[in-house]
């Protein structure tokens, strides 16, 4: 089984990004893992992702991003066709009310079994909840673009997006954080659950709206 795991470079003045640090720390077991660091730049991030999907066939793609302030790992359920940036990306772009894909559907649902993933995470003692909003910054841009690529060019590919909290070294107060090692373990569980679970669970213990 071939898995692609993506993370992001640091952004918004940060010196690190736990989405990428954790991706590098994942130790695959029973599957081949490719990691890809995406730029925190709207169009360029999707260009790199599209090139990676065209280069090799994957069974599962898990894109990962940082969601500072969240207390746990949050598999995302819905990507919306909207770029609306509160801050500029790393190239200075700050789109407002712009579609990710002009003429594309308003939204896509994830292809990952997010409720089963959340159950696996909480069962392992890792704080987690299903999220119904990936925001409107570069993370959602990649999530929507990924699902559009699945719908239009890569049928059968199981793909989705997961947000992770700050790492402890990024916070100096009581802002929630998770050690990178814990986040890496969470990503391993997400990948394994996505490979092993054909149909998602009907219920889950928690959701983040």
Q: How far apart are CA 103 and CA 113, in angstroms?
A: 27
- For residue 139, indicate whether it is catalytic: yes
Residue of 40, 76, 148, 188 marked active site: 76
What Cα–Cα distance (Å) separates residue 158 from each residue in 2, 57, 110? 11, 11, 8
- For residue 76, indicate whether it is catalytic: yes
User: Helix or strand or coil: residue 58?
Assistant: coil
Cβ atoms of residues 79 and 143 within 8 Å: yes
What Cα–Cα distance (Å) separates residue 183 from each residue in 6, 166, 199? 14, 10, 24
Residue 171, number of CB atoms within 10 A of its CB: 14
Residue of 40, 117, 139, 188 marked active site: 139
Residue of 40, 117, 141, 163 marked active site: 163
- For residue 40, indicate whether it is catalytic: no
Catalytic residue numbers?
Answer: 76, 139, 163
């Amino acid at each position: 089984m071939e898995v692609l795991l993506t993370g992001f470079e640091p952004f918004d003045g940060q010196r690190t990004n736990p989405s990428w640090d954790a991706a590098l720390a994942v130790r695959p077991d029973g599957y081949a893992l490719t990691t890809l660091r995406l730029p925190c730049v709207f169009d360029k991030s999707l260009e790199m992702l599209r090139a990676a999907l065209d280069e090799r066939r994957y069974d599962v793609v898990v894109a990962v991003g940082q969601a500072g302030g969240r207390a746990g790992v949050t598999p995302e359920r819905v990507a919306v066709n909207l770029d609306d940036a509160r801050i500029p990306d790393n190239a200075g772009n700050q789109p407002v009310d712009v579609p990710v894909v002009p003429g594309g559907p308003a939204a896509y649902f994830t292809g990952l079994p997010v409720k089963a993933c959340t159950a696996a995470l909480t069962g392992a003692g890792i704080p987690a909840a299903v999220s119904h909003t990936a925001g409107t910054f570069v993370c959602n841009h990649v999530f929507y673009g990924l699902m559009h690529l699945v719908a239009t060019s890569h049928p059968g590919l199981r793909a989705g997006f997961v947000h992770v909290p700050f790492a402890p070294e990024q916070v100096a107060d009581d802002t929630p954080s998770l050690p990178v090692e814990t986040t890496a373990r969470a990503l391993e569980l997400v990948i394994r659950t996505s490979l092993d679970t054909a149909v998602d669970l009907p219920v889950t213990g928690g959701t983040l709206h």
